[in-house]
Amino acid sequence: MSIRFEGESTFRSTDYELLPFRFSPLDEGCYFLSTDYGEWTVLDKQQLHHLVRKEHVGDTALYFELKAKHFISSEVSESKINFLASKLKTKKSFIDFFSQLHIFVLTVRCNTSCIYCQASRKSCQSDPRRFDMSDEVLDKSIDLFLSMPSPMLTLEFQGGESTLTMPLIKRAVQRVKEKQKNKDIQFVICTNLCDLSEEDMDYLIANDFSISTSLDGPQLLHNTNRKYSQGGAYESLIKSLDKLKEKSAFDKVSALMTTTRTSLSQAKEIIDEYVQQGFRSIFIRELNPYGFAQKYFHKVGYSTEEFLRFYAQCLDYIIELNHQGIIFRESYAALILKKMMTPWATGFVDLQSPCGSGFGVTLYNYDGYIYPSDESRMMAETGDDYFRMGHILSDSREDIFFGNVMQKLASAGVNDSLMVCSDCAFAPYCGAEPVRRYQVTGSIYGHPGKDDFCVKNKSIIKLVIKKWLTANTATRKILETWGAQ
């Protein structure tokens, strides 16, 4: 088969010049176009054909839209290039100060047993000397944390169940406040809220902690997923949430849900539970293939297609609730809308390129080892230390942040340089995740276009775009508010 190249005259036009953009099928006969700096539009096949051949754009409104969104230009000058470079820099501003989220896994002991636990938990009665972070490791970790260049940092305490180590949390907060200079430090604690004393709750409130907890849905579903020995995990959680409401601290609480096979038939019930408890958003999160979730996936798991159907049901119901006057949003869709409708970065590491692992997140494990993400730490707990960056007591800052693991992440964590991703019009709203791709496919590069990370993200992005395109005025107003938050 011979390849024939068009002559120069085919690509010459006195009307406009093409600026860089990508295009991908959105629906039958319909194409989604995007630029590196996040502008987008949708054209039919004939319109796209005319555009790429630089033929006259007969539709005046479309012509000026393409110019305004920088798909085409009547001239390509240095000032134009500098302007577009500034837009791209704004979109990539999350990499300016390197890693800003630092996770301290203080213990792997836990007081609950969740059927999808990704952290390879140990019993709360296990030896703290073996499974809790030592004072020496904690102090050295704080020193490294405070050495980061960003003026704004987040210190997140995780477990296991982090509140089993409240003395360590208090020591960490005290040392940060004593040693930090001119940095804005946000404290976050991830806790199941099943056994938090009122004294410890008051401490978290007094020190302006953000509290991240788990709520999988109604009582029966939550208790099925999350076992707690002193009664139901749901009952203990709701008791703590009610106390936080009494103390006027509920606005500092957010909740995550994890979708199991049982969840798939309860989309409305899960959303209603969140609304009933006073939450104003939900993050519809799939199972991650780590720890016990991987071991028992045959019992609690599902296909990507099943999850996408469930997600679509949730999104439809949430939009319906908003039409009824109930202010509520789906957080993943809101992040995509923000990337599509504003010039700003979201700060959400799962939808970043360069990837959030390592570049946006640093994790300090209880045993002193350092990882680029919580997921890579989970892999190490089950025997695969492929992403171990170093040890806080024996490796230098340079060894940790410029070593072999970070080089791997740099090579596979930029979707602009990955096959398939580099040509995908949805790439500016997606991310790269070498850790998950390695876990699922055995390669840090994965199989873009085919692996579940790509299929899930692309499908949800396309779903959000189609919701916008087919929405009436009232629905668009709802979606606009999500993207603006």
DSSP E strands: which ranges in 111-182? 112-114, 122-123, 152-158
Host domain of residue 50: 13-91
For 416, what's the count of Cα atoms within 13 Å in the CB-facing half-sphere? 13
For the cut 60, the answer to whether the pLDDT of residue 8 exceeds it is no
pLDDT score recorded for residue 122: 66
Whether 211 and 110 map to the same domain: the answer is yes
Secondary structure class of 243 (helix, strand, coil)? helix
Whether 28 and 154 map to the same domain: the answer is no
Spatial separation of the C-alpha atoms in residues 119 and 378, rounded to whole Å: 5
For the cut 90, the answer to whether the pLDDT of residue 178 exceeds it is yes
Q: Is residue 287 part of a domain?
A: yes
For the cut 50, the answer to whether the pLDDT of residue 1 exceeds it is no
Whether 23 and 159 map to the same domain: the answer is no
Whether 82 and 222 map to the same domain: the answer is no
Secondary structure class of 77 (helix, strand, coil)? coil
State CA 422 to chain mean position distance: 20
Whether 58 and 142 map to the same domain: the answer is no
Whether 32 and 60 map to the same domain: the answer is yes
Q: What is the DSSP string of 429-479?
A: G----HHHHHHHHSSTT--TTTSHHHHHHHHHHHHHHHHHHH--HHHHHHH
Mean pLDDT for the stretch of residues 121-147: 86
Spatial separation of the C-alpha atoms in residues 452 and 304, rounded to whole Å: 7
Rank 71-85, 106-120, 387-401 by mean pLDDT and report only the highest: 387-401
- Of 16-20, 167-171, 342-346, the poorest mean pLDDT is in 342-346
For the cut 60, the answer to whether the pLDDT of residue 462 exceeds it is yes
Which of 29, 57, 91 is the C-terminal boundary of a domain?
A: 91
Q: Is residue 391 part of a domain?
A: no
Q: Is residue 459 part of a domain?
A: no
Q: Angle formed by the axes of helices 304-323 and 452-470, to 10°?
A: 30
* Entry pTM: 0.92
The DSSP 8-state label assigned to residue 25 in this structure reads E
Which of 69, 91, 113 is the C-terminal boundary of a domain?
A: 91
Secondary structure class of 286 (helix, strand, coil)? coil
- Of 79-83, 167-171, 465-469, the poorest mean pLDDT is in 79-83
Whether 134 and 87 map to the same domain: the answer is no
Whether 84 and 107 map to the same domain: the answer is no
CB 106 within 8 A of CB 168: yes
Q: How many other CB atoms sit within 10 Å of the CB of residue 365?
A: 24
pLDDT score recorded for residue 276: 98
Which residues, at least 6 apart from 423, have a Cβ–Cβ distance to it below 8 Å? 22, 24
Q: Is residue 283 part of a domain?
A: yes
CATH code, domain with 326? 3.20.20.70
| Region of 462 on the Ramachandran plot (φ > 0 left; ψ -120 to 50 alpha; else beta) | alpha
Spatial separation of the C-alpha atoms in residues 109 and 196, rounded to whole Å: 15
How many separate helices (H) and strands (E) can be counted in the chain? 20, 20
Whether 19 and 107 map to the same domain: the answer is no
Q: Is residue 319 part of a domain?
A: yes
Whether 303 and 352 map to the same domain: the answer is yes
Q: Is residue 291 part of a domain?
A: yes
Confidence of residue 124 (pLDDT cuts 50, 70, 90): low
CB 473 within 8 A of CB 480: no
Q: Is residue 72 part of a domain?
A: yes
Per-residue pLDDT tens for 47-80? 999 999 998 888 899 999 999 999 999 888 899 9
Which of 381, 402, 418 is the C-terminal boundary of a domain?
A: 381
- Six-digit token pair at 61? 């409104």
Whether 85 and 200 map to the same domain: the answer is no
What's the domain count of the chain? 2
Q: Is residue 462 part of a domain?
A: no
Mean pLDDT for the stretch of residues 234-259: 96
Whether 258 and 137 map to the same domain: the answer is yes
pLDDT score recorded for residue 252: 97
Spatial separation of the C-alpha atoms in residues 51 and 429, rounded to whole Å: 23
